[in-house]
């Protein structure tokens, strides 16, 4: 609900668990008043105080003791009387850049207008949300900004975006246009970010705020492995279940900035948006610029409250298409099984074996097209290599369909290799700067998606392949970051628009292809999780979480990813040992339990498994199918963090609390250790649950408050709990390094 109090000129945005208040001052400046637990009243005028700061800070409108710099502002500019980190910075035709935006009017609309050309959260019915659009203007330069705030009442989130409108007769250059800004009255927070690198994505980092700027950002032309477009400020006592959390997540896949500046009065300003670094946008007279959407979440139920809000909203009102609510198939991917060394016979052998295990989808990864026998050529040449796939793609697809499995195919559509037919024909279609080296990464260059003909080529070549056979899944990969960012067709004054124009081109291409093939399941990938962001999820409802398939490394990666993203978005596979990324040897059962954290699959040569591993694979697939709706669409609870403990635990609970899966991992064996117990979370305390392995009954209260016994060895090496976890699994005891256990509880009607 959105209220406007005419008397106090206060806007009150109310979700089920949050209030967000702004006020128009007599001077026309838009103040931020409050963000936090729900309030009943709109009148917070008592909080608007003045102080005669003895400092260098200038008086606003030359009113004594009135400084914008000491106020919490909603969307600050720069160069008038607030000299803190601005949300917007413009360069005008006269070369100056000071702005002073003041209130003009507002409107409230039911539902949520779409953001043209950009991914964004949406409503299915207008009653799900209301949108407030506030117009501010810089009178001197005749430029408006429209601030949009969509209140998702039930989802408990506020989606913000900004549009700049040049109403003047002159050119305006946008130097910076962030999507959200929140000023806090203090800075007694810690900052949480999701950071890492290739094969180590989205590790949780929590640090106290300090005076000055602290930011996470990407300058890589993708949201990146290194940082995720997300930032949370949390009170120091915040735990998984308690305390105040203020978070921002950007629905964008390119260069971003998430910044918190603590000023000289120890007040924090938090912002998120397109990275102003190496970005400008020329706005001609009468033109508009739409900045991407930021989703703001407040939780007073700690980090779990924040994560559930993001997971629910992104799962249901960001992801789209027929697969949004459908159980995702168990897949086998041939990448780590064969790399480039395969032909159709090998592929069919693996597929045959997979079908016998109940696996539902075969994914043919890199190497099926052009002359690609290693990673030095052919990206861009999207036609099948009949030397490897004899008889062509359709024949292979039909044969795999005949085994009862769907067929999926890998593409890397945004790239071109210098050794390719495409590059021979169009050497200027890649991002490049005349006279500079075209730096390759993995021997590839990036196509210039700011150009229409390049986008059209990608749409056509991918569509042609998809139409040529019954391809029901696509893995859309992207394996390098941008360098020498320049476009052959844009004028000099628009070259710094290229990285953003690329994103707009990419979104257009993804929108077009996914709309043409609405029944195909698309999984995005960027060398694993280099573009695991809300922008891409709008087009493709699942992402290959990381190229790191090691069961233990995955604990941190998946745990961190769950901060913002739903489990149904995470691709997780069982792979061979020694693991190809870290050479670690982990038990097969642990690999299975770790990969049952999202969309489950395998990525190894199934024909080379031992008999015992084969039996386990069959059992894992059967067990996963039994619980997959719960895992993919249930509530995820982080119970014990791999960042802080030798033991990790998490669980999935059905929305109606009728079922739960609890997973436990112990990284290193500890001699003479205590007996471990794990307290379940999110169950119905009044209900009775059956442990589906042992048939034993427990109260929900017992499972949550007393705990679940982690089966251990007792004296003499005899298992404390003798039964197999599920058919084919090894003796269910926690033993040795890298051990894991999984429970399935179901409510009994007693
Ligand atoms: C990087 C991906 O993350 C891998 O899964 C695989 O598809 C390779 N690219 C293929 O080149």
Q: How much of the chain exceeds pLDDT 70, in percent?
A: 97
Q: What is the mean pLDDT of the chain?
A: 95
pLDDT of 250 > 90? The answer is yes
Spacing of C-alpha 628 from chain mean position: 21
Cis peptide leading into residue 286 (ω within 30°)? no
Distance between CA 454 and CA 466 in Å, rounded? 18
Distance between CA 550 and CA 678 in Å, rounded? 24
The pLDDT score that the predictor gives to residue 64 is: 87
6: burial class by Cβ within 10 Å (0-12, 13-18, 19+)? exposed
Alpha carbon nearest to ligand 1 atom 1, residue: 527
The pLDDT score that the predictor gives to residue 713 is: 64
Q: What is the pLDDT averaged over residues 535-550?
A: 98
Q: What is the pLDDT averaged over residues 72-80?
A: 95
Q: What is the pLDDT averaged over residues 121-128?
A: 98
Q: Give the atom of ligand 1 at the shortest distance from the alpha carbon of 475.
A: 7
**Count of alpha carbons within 13 Å of 673, Cβ hemisphere only?**
17
Alpha carbon nearest to ligand 1 atom 9, residue: 527
Structure tokens at 50: 């003045």
Task: Please spell the DSSP secondary structure of 295-347, one letter per residue.
Answer: EEEEESBHHHHHHHHHHHHHHHHTS-STTTTSPPPPEEE-HHHHTT---HHHH
Q: Enumerate the H helices of 469-533 as residue ranges.
A: 498-516
Binding pocket residue ranges, ligand 1, CB within 6 Å: 335, 365-366, 410, 477, 479, 525, 527-528, 544, 547
> Strand 361-364 to strand 406-411: parallel, antiparallel, or no bridges (unpaired)?
parallel
pLDDT of 70 > 70? The answer is yes
The pLDDT score that the predictor gives to residue 65 is: 84
Q: How much of the chain exceeds pLDDT 90, in percent?
A: 90
Alpha carbon nearest to ligand 1 atom 4, residue: 527
The pLDDT score that the predictor gives to residue 688 is: 98
Distance between CA 424 and CA 378 in Å, rounded? 11
The pLDDT score that the predictor gives to residue 726 is: 59
The pLDDT score that the predictor gives to residue 154 is: 97
Active site residue 278: no
Number of helices and strands (H, E) in the chain?
A: 12, 40
Task: Please spell the DSSP secondary structure of 685-726, one letter per residue.
Answer: TTSEEEETTT--EEEHHIIIII-EEPP-EETTTEESS-S-SS
pLDDT of 279 > 50? The answer is yes
Q: What is the pLDDT averaged over residues 1-24?
A: 97
Helix, strand, or coil here: 624?
helix
Helix, strand, or coil here: 31?
strand
Distance between CA 567 and CA 581 in Å, rounded? 23
Q: Tell how far the Cα of 739 is from the centroid of ligand 1, in angstroms.
A: 28
In 10 A of CB 489, how many CB atoms?
Answer: 12
Alpha-carbon distances, residue 334 vs 63, 161, 349, 362, 541 (angstroms):
70, 41, 11, 8, 21
Candidates 370, 374, 530, 544: which one to mutate for ligand 1, based on the most atoms within 8 Å of Cβ? 544
Distance between CA 280 and CA 88 in Å, rounded? 12
Distance between CA 594 and CA 553 in Å, rounded? 10
Q: What is the pLDDT averaged over residues 113-142?
A: 98
179 within 8 A of 74, measured Cβ to Cβ: no
447 within 8 A of 416, measured Cβ to Cβ: yes
Phi-psi region of 175 (alpha: psi -120 to 50; beta: other; left: phi over 0): alpha
Buried b (16+ CB within 10 A) or exposed e, 655-665: eebbbbbbbbb
Q: Give the atom of ligand 1 at the shortest distance from the alpha carbon of 603.
A: 5
Distance between CA 637 and CA 745 in Å, rounded? 15
Q: Tell how far the Cα of 336 is from the centroid of ligand 1, in angstroms.
A: 9
Q: Give the least confident one: 10-24, 55-69, 161-175, 528-542.
A: 55-69
pLDDT of 79 > 50? The answer is yes
Q: Tell how far the Cα of 199 is from the centroid of ligand 1, in angstroms.
A: 12
Q: Tell how far the Cα of 335 is from the centroid of ligand 1, in angstroms.
A: 7
Candidates 339, 479, 543, 575: which one to mutate for ligand 1, based on the most atoms within 8 Å of Cβ? 479
pLDDT of 730 > 60? The answer is no
* 536 closest CA partner among 519, 523, 547: 523
The pLDDT score that the predictor gives to residue 720 is: 58
Alpha carbon nearest to ligand 1 atom 10, residue: 366
Q: Which residue is catalytic, options 477, 533, 548, 691?
A: 477
Q: Tell how far the Cα of 547 is from the centroid of ligand 1, in angstroms.
A: 7
Q: Give the least confident one: 105-114, 447-456, 715-724.
A: 715-724
Distance between CA 78 and CA 70 in Å, rounded? 14
The pLDDT score that the predictor gives to residue 457 is: 98
Q: Name the residue with tokens 């257009």.
A: 508
Q: How many residues does the chain have?
A: 750
How far does the chain reach from its first CA to its final CA, in angstroms? Answer: 41
Rounded to 5°, angle at Cα 388 from 385 and 394: 65
Distance between CA 76 and CA 68 in Å, rounded? 9
pLDDT of 309 > 60? The answer is yes
Q: Give the least confident one: 237-241, 604-608, 656-660, 709-713.
A: 709-713
> Strand 361-364 to strand 331-333: parallel, antiparallel, or no bridges (unpaired)?
parallel
Q: What is the pLDDT averaged over residues 674-689?
A: 95
Provide the angle, in degrees to the nearest 10, between the axes of the packed helices 588-595 and 611-633: 20
* 421 closest CA partner among 454, 386, 381: 381
Buried b (16+ CB within 10 A) or exposed e, 32-49: bbbbeeebeebbbeeeee
The pLDDT score that the predictor gives to residue 177 is: 98
Alpha-carbon distances, residue 716 vs 468, 541, 712 (angstroms):
62, 49, 12
pLDDT of 629 > 80? The answer is yes
Task: Please spell the DSSP secondary structure of 156-213, one letter per residue.
Answer: TEEEEEEEEEE-SSS-EEEEEEEEEEEE-S---EEEEEEE--TTS--EEEEEE--SEE
Candidates 333, 342, 412, 527: which one to mutate for ligand 1, based on the most atoms within 8 Å of Cβ? 527
Q: What is the pLDDT averaged over residues 4-30?
A: 97
Q: Tell how far the Cα of 718 is from the centroid of ligand 1, in angstroms.
A: 43
The CB-based long-range contact list for 589-593 (8 Å cut-off, 24+ gap) reads: 589/616, 589/725, 589/729, 589/730, 589/740, 590/551, 590/552, 590/665, 590/738, 590/739, 590/740, 591/551, 592/616, 592/617, 592/620, 593/551, 593/663, 593/665, 593/740, 593/741, 593/742
Alpha carbon nearest to ligand 1 atom 2, residue: 527
Helix H, strand E, coil C: the string for 391-460 is CCHHHHHHHHHHCCCEEEEEECCCEECCCCHHHHHCHHHECCCCCCCCCCECCEEEECCCCHHHHHHHHH
Q: Tell how far the Cα of 412 is from the centroid of ligand 1, in angstroms.
A: 9
Residues 456-495: tens digit of each pLDDT? 999 999 999 999 999 999 999 999 999 999 999 999 999 9
The pLDDT score that the predictor gives to residue 727 is: 54
Distance between CA 627 and CA 616 in Å, rounded? 16
Residues 579-617: tens digit of each pLDDT? 999 999 999 999 999 999 999 999 999 999 999 899 999
Q: Tell how far the Cα of 381 is from the centroid of ligand 1, in angstroms.
A: 17
Q: Which residue is catalytic, options 183, 366, 381, 547?
A: 547
Alpha carbon nearest to ligand 1 atom 3, residue: 527
Q: Name the residue with tokens 């901060």.
A: 563
Active site residue 477: yes
pLDDT of 164 > 50? The answer is yes
148 within 8 A of 284, measured Cβ to Cβ: no
Q: Tell how far the Cα of 272 is from the centroid of ligand 1, in angstroms.
A: 30
The pLDDT score that the predictor gives to residue 674 is: 84
For 375, list phi and psi in degrees, rounded to 5: -90, 30
Task: Please spell the DSSP secondary structure of 86-137, one letter per residue.
Answer: -SEEEEETTS------EEEEEEEEES----TTS-----SSGGGEEEEEEEEE
**Neighbouring residues of 641: CB distance < 8 A, sequence distance ≥ 6:** 204, 559, 648
Distance between CA 661 and CA 638 in Å, rounded? 12
**Neighbouring residues of 529: CB distance < 8 A, sequence distance ≥ 6:** 201, 202, 225, 543, 544, 545, 546, 547, 557, 561
Residues 430-457: tens digit of each pLDDT? 999 999 999 999 999 999 999 999 999 9
pLDDT of 374 > 90? The answer is yes
pLDDT of 717 > 50? The answer is no
Distance between CA 292 and CA 252 in Å, rounded? 6
Distance between CA 678 and CA 651 in Å, rounded? 10
Distance between CA 475 and CA 725 in Å, rounded? 33
Q: Give the atom of ligand 1 at the shortest distance from the alpha carbon of 544.
A: 3
- CA 547, 553, 558, 561 dihedral sign is negative
Distance between CA 88 and CA 74 in Å, rounded? 11
């Amino acid at each position: 609900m959105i209220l406007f109090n005419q008397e106090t000129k206060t806007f009150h945005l109310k979700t089920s668990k949050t209030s967000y208040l702004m006020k128009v001052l007599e001077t026309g400046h838009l103040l931020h008043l409050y963000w936090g637990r729900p309030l009943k009243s709109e009148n917070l005028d008592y909080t608007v105080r003045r102080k005669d700061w003895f400092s260098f800070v200038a008086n606003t409108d030359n009113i004594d003791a009135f400084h914008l710099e000491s106020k919490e502002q909603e969307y600050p500019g720069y160069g008038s009387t607030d000299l803190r980190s601005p949300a917007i910075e413009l360069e005008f035709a006269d070369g100056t850049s000071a702005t002073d935006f003041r209130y003009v009017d507002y409107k409230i609309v039911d539902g949520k207008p779409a953001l043209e050309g950009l991914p964004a959260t949406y409503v299915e019915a207008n009653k799900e949300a209301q949108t407030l659009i506030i117009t501010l203007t810089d009178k001197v330069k005749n430029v408006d900004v429209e601030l949009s705030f969509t209140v998702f009442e039930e989802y408990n989130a506020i989606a913000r975006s900004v549009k700049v409108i040049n109403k003047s007769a002159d050119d305006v250059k946008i130097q910076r246009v962030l999507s959200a800004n929140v000023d806090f009255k203090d800075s007694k927070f810690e900052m949480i970010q999701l950071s890492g690198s290739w094969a180590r994505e989205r590790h949780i980092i929590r640090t106290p705020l300090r005076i000055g700027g602290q930011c996470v950002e990407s300058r890589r032309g993708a949201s990146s492995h290194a940082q995720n477009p997300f930032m949370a400020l949390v009170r120091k006592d915040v735990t998984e279940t308690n305390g105040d959390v203020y978070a921002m997540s950007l629905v964008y896949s390119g260069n971003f900035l998430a910044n918190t500046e603590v000023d000289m009065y120890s007040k924090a300003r938090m912002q998120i948006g397109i990275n102003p670094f190496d970005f400008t946008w020329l706005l001609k007279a009468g033109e508009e610029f739409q900045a991407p959407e930021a989703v703001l979440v407040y939780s007073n139920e700690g980090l779990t409250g924040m994560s559930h809000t993001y997971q629910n909203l992104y799962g249901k009102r960001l992801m789209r298409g027929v697969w949004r609510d459908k159980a995702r198939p168990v897949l086998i991917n041939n990448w780590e099984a064969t790399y480039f060394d395969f032909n159709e016979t090998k592929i069919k052998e693996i597929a045959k074996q997979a079908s016998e295990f109940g696996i539902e989808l075969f994914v043919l990864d890199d190497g099926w097209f052009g002359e690609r026998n290693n990673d030095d050529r052919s990206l861009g040449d999207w036609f099948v290599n009949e030397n490897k796939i004899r008889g062509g793609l359709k024949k292979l697809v039909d044969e795999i369909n005949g085994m009862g499995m769907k067929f999926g195919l890998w593409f890397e559509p945004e790239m071109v290799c210098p050794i390719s037919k495409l590059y021979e024909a169009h050497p200027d279609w890649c991002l490049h700067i005349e006279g500079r080296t075209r730096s390759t990464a993995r021997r590839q260059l990036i196509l210039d998606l700011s150009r229409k003909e390049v986008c059209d080529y990608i749409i056509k070549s991918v569509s042609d392949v998809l139409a040529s056979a019954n391809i029901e899944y696509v893995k859309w990969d992207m394996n390098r970051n941008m360098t020498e960012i320049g476009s052959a067709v844009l004028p000099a004054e628009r070259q710094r628009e290229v990285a953003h124009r690329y994103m707009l081109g990419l979104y257009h291409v993804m929108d077009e292809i996914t709309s043409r093939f609405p029944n195909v399941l698309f999984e995005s990938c960027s060398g694993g999780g280099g573009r695991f962001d809300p922008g891409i999820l709008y087009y493709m409802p699942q992402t290959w979480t990381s190229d790191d398939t090691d069961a233990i490394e995955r604990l941190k990666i998946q745990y961190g990813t769950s901060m913002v993203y739903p489990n149904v978005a995470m691709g997780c596979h069982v792979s061979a040992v020694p693991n190809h990324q870290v050479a670690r040897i982990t038990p097969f059962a642990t690999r299975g339990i770790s990969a049952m954290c999202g969309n489950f699959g395998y990525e190894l040569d199934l024909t080379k498994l031992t008999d015992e591993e084969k039996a386990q694979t069959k059992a894992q697939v059967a067990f996963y199918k039994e619980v997959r709706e719960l895992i993919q669409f249930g509530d995820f609870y982080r119970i014990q963090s791999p960042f802080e403990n030798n033991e990790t635990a998490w669980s999935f609970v059905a929305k109606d609390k009728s079922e739960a899966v609890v997973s436990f991992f112990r990284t290193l064996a500890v001699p003479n250790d205590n007996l471990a117990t794990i307290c379940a979370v999110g169950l119905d305390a009044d209900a009775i649950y059956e442990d589906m392995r042992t048939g034993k009954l427990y109260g929900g209260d017992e499972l949550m408050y007393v705990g679940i016994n982690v089966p251990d060895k007792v004296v003499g090496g005899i298992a404390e709990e003798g039964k197999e976890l599920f058919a084919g699994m090894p003796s269910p005891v926690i033993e040795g390094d890298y051990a894991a256990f999984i429970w399935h509880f179901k409510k009994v009607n007693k």
